Chains A and B, each alone.
Chain A
Amino acid sequence: MHVVVCVKQIPDPAIPGELDPSTHALKREGKLILDESDSYGVEMALQLVDKAGGGEVTLVSMAPNNEVSGLRTALAMGAAKAILVSDPALAGSDALSTAKVLAKAIERAGDVDLVLAATESTDGYTGTTPPQIAELLGWPSLTFAKHVEIGDGKATIQRQTEAGYDVVEASLPAVISVTAGVVEPRYPSFKGIMAAKNKPVDEVTAADLGLAADSVGWAGSRQQITQVAAAPAREAGEKIEDDGEAFQRVVAFLEELKVV
């Protein structure tokens, strides 16, 4: 079984983000790491390939610079290879342009049975890319999966709903978006980290994928940021140290609000 996982390399979320003053886009020039949301898809792909008794996991990713450190993390977990679409023309790409690029990269990966992705990225969180990729490929999409089974040429998932979950089935190939916490992502072993250094990363440009420069990046986004402003700040209130009796202050606060 050949599983492709869409992964994003993002600025470390622990470091406060910043907008570029001229383009208003999120600054992404520092070191990029593997989005933690994507580690669940990578882990699930590795487990599904194991269960199927053979096959491999290919990563696809997009970055405006030749950043690979996040990809190396996923390769160290056990993915076999990666396709990195790296092109200055991709800067400013919105979710639809990203989906167009990733769909082309998936076609480049050859015969693919299944594509996994996170439900949304941690930095941009538009949350539409997986079904957009599926629509571009003409494939079914099973979204918000909290459990995935593959067998008989079909994928069966438990799909998160407002009320609980649905069991949903589709034939392969298909795109599945997985929610966080569905599997426990493995830590790369030392051996895995060493092996990852020599795993193939196929670096391509938008043009290599047959995409016109005006269909992606800033040119393709057809929207403009008109204003950036600071939100009204919320003021901190009373702060107390627990001396064993702080719960009484909480009870009093609940009484003031008339909720008890």
Chain B
Amino acid sequence: MGLAKVWVFAEADGDKPATSTLELLTKAREVADTVECVFVGANADAIAGSLGEHGATKVFAVDPGDGLPGVIGAAALATLIAANGPDLVLFAQTYDGRDALARLSVKLDRPVITNGTALVVDGDSVTVGTAVFGGNTLVDTQFSGEKPFLAAIRPKSFAAEPSGGAAAAVEAVGGVDAGRAGEAKILERHVEEREGPKLEEATIVVSGGRGIGAAESYDPLVEQLAKLLGGASGASRAIVDAGWVPYSKQVGQTGKTVKPKLYIALGISGATQHLVGMKGSDNIIAINKDGEAPIFGVADLGVVGDVHKVVPKLIEALQARG
């Protein structure tokens, strides 16, 4: 027997539910009798069909206007939880998911477990699995306090599968008061031009690390190869910290988890910080000057060599194939 009611903090990607939301719903319906969503955004009707198809029977919809979804979401959740009593609320480990979870934990005075990659429900007990030390060690943590339990799960931890349910019933929620915190306003939204697929959803990911030598090398080596292969470009923490590429490209413990069919690591030594975010990839190619680099311990094909020599030739060879 599982839990009576599990809630998912739903997020959208344009007019569709975020993949991470569908992953959580798929898991939630496995462990609970009733699965419902709380969605903070303008287009609940557009996503209700897909949410229902993945197991949600109801979606509480809050339009945040130009407020921050995580901040408005936490205030709405606190009120809704008091009235509806879910046993567990799941968040994706995303920017807004983390904001909502953090503020809600204070409002309810509940601990959080984050960075989950597994969820086990046995009767009333809920255990979240996390991977530490670069994924070498798996730790199971069980909630021992009062419900509802609050957990954030890393995207890509579960597969999203439709169950064929009817569209979720949309219940609009108004009058959310987030206090002074709710006064934060979004003034402008910038969508960065992206060629090719999203980093977390790409079937091929090409990432660069300190070994590419300089910020100027990122485009001709990493971006170029990613583009040729129809993949997405990523980065190790070292070059994000150095300011060469934005945080959104970071793959690893404090960045994104990717599980592509093919991961190509260019000039990445393979610190545990990085390995945890990519070692679930089906195939890994690593090119690095240092033959002792830990990245070779997880690579299906390792090339000990200078990325500045190997990659331009590789790009040329791929271009020649047309």
Q: Residues on A close to B: CB < 8 A?
A: 13, 16-17, 19, 24, 36-37, 94-96, 99, 119-120, 122, 125-132, 134-136, 138-144, 146, 156, 158-171, 174, 179-182, 184, 220-231, 234, 236-242, 244, 246-251, 253-254, 257, 259-260
Contacts and interface: CB of A to CB of B under 8 A. Distances in A.
B276 to A, nearest CB: 10
Provide the main secondary structure of the chain A interface. mixed
B74 interface: yes
Interface string B232-274: 0000010011111011100001100000011000000001110
A141 B178 CA distance: 12
A36 B253 CA distance: 15
Interface string B107-127: 101111111000000000001
A128 B243 contact: no
Interface string B148-188: 00001000000000000000000000000001111111111
**Residue in B114, B143, B145, B309 with the greatest tally of chain A CB atoms within 10 Å:** B114
B181 A247 contact: no
Contact of B137 (A13, A163, A228): A228
A102 to B, nearest CB: 12
A226 B143 CA distance: 10
Given A126-B112, A180-B240, A222-B144, A242 B133 contact: no
A53 B303 CA distance: 53
A24 B139 contact: yes
Contact of B243 (A163, A181, A222, A236): A181
Interface string B37-80: 00000000000000000000000000000001011001000000
A258 to B, nearest CB: 10
B200 to A, nearest CB: 9
B135 to A, nearest CB: 6
Nearest to A181: B243
Interface in B261-319: 261-262, 271-273, 279, 283, 285, 287, 291, 296-306, 309-311, 313-314, 317-318
B4 interface: no
Nearest to A24: B139
B229 interface: yes
A146 to B, nearest CB: 7
17 contacts: A13-B271, A13-B273, A96-B111, A128-B152, A134-B181, A135-B106, A141-B181, A156-B187, A162-B94, A167-B190, A220-B111, A223-B111, A224-B142, A237-B302, A247-B313, A250-B303, A259-B261
Nearest to A184: B243
Contact of B314 (A95, A125, A251): A251
B42 to A, nearest CB: 15
Contacts of A166: 186-190
B299 A126 contact: no
Contacts of A244: 309
A6 to B, nearest CB: 14
A93 B98 CA distance: 19
B13 interface: yes
A250 B314 contact: yes
A231 B240 contact: no
Contact of B240 (A181, A225, A239): A181
A166 B186 CA distance: 6
Contact of B102 (A94, A129, A225, A251): A129
A2 B184 CA distance: 21
A125 B139 CA distance: 14
Contacts of B111: 94-96, 220-223
Given A161-B95, A236-B296, A167 B187 contact: yes
A34 to B, nearest CB: 14
A181 B114 contact: no
B101 interface: yes
Nearest to A16: B133
Nearest to A185: B241
A122 B305 CA distance: 30
B103 interface: yes
Nearest to A238: B301
Nearest to A140: B184
Contact of B181 (A135, A160, A241): A135
Contacts of A236: 296-299, 302
Nearest to A250: B314
A238 B139 CA distance: 31
B83 interface: no
